[in-house]
Copies of this chain bind each other. A is one copy, B any other.
Amino acid sequence: MLTPERHQMILKLLQDRKTVKMKELVEATKASESTIRRDLSYLEEQKKLRRVHGGASIKSAASEEPSLQEKRTVQLAEKQAIAEYAASLVRDGDSIFLDAGSTTYEMIPLLAQKNVLVVTNGLSHLETLTSYDIETYVVGGRIKRKTRAVIGAHAVESLKHYRFDKCFLGINGVHPKEGFTTPDPEEAVVKNTALQLSGETFILADASKFHEITFAKVADIQDAVIISDAPEDLLPSFKELTEVKVVTS
């Protein structure tokens, strides 16, 4: 029996019941205890299951997607606070661009009561946006597998069909001189385009993003409002250049 087969068998057994004992796995797979142990370690590493004394158990609450509520509570409080403030800026009837990323994702439930039109390049956002019955448009283009974002030349073209009252961007680095940065140049150009099509731009950046420079420049600082939970002593040089809104969780 090949290794992936065995892994599959283990996961299958876990689907039926919610736990399996080592003894059962050894019996089912005809492999030795040592091998099963190695498999379990690997599968736990892959977050496919949870090891427990004597065997394995399915990962947390069922193998299903965590519900929206669950997902929200798992998220860091800082992202929540940033998202909450950002969402409070959105007014009824606004057209907004919502960048891909976990912080902008947190804004979605807070937008549900408002009468907004949302354009996004984040595939992960789509399910949630439509489930809240928000009028949603998706940007066309190539899908970047890792971040599940739409990027590339077509995405830029596609974006230009729209105009935004406000756009909310996540970024990977903020630096007084280098401006807003992100590692992927193709993502950078999409963000930059959204920014140019938008009346106001808001950058959602938790404290860890400051000082960091990650290759491709998105825009200069003075083009946007920064929303962050960064401590005050980090900010003087940024405040000289643009508006910075500090939120606390």
Contacts and interface: CB of A to CB of B under 8 A. Distances in A.
Interface string A98-126: 00000000000000000000000001001
A142 interface: yes
A4 to B, nearest CB: 5
B154 A137 contact: yes
A130 to B, nearest CB: 5
Interface in A135-185: 135-143, 145, 148, 150, 154-155, 157-158, 161
Contact of A2 (B7, B11, B55): B55
Contact of A140 (B4, B8, B52, B139): B139
A5 B52 CA distance: 10
Contacts of A135: 142
B142 A137 contact: yes
Count this chain's copies in the assembly.
2
Interface stretch (A61-69, A85-93, A214-222, A229-237): A61-69
The main secondary structure of chain A at its interface with chain B is mixed
B141 A4 contact: no
Top 7 A-B pairs, shortest CB-CB distance: A140-B140, A140-B158, A136-B143, A4-B57, A2-B19, A8-B63, A130-B145
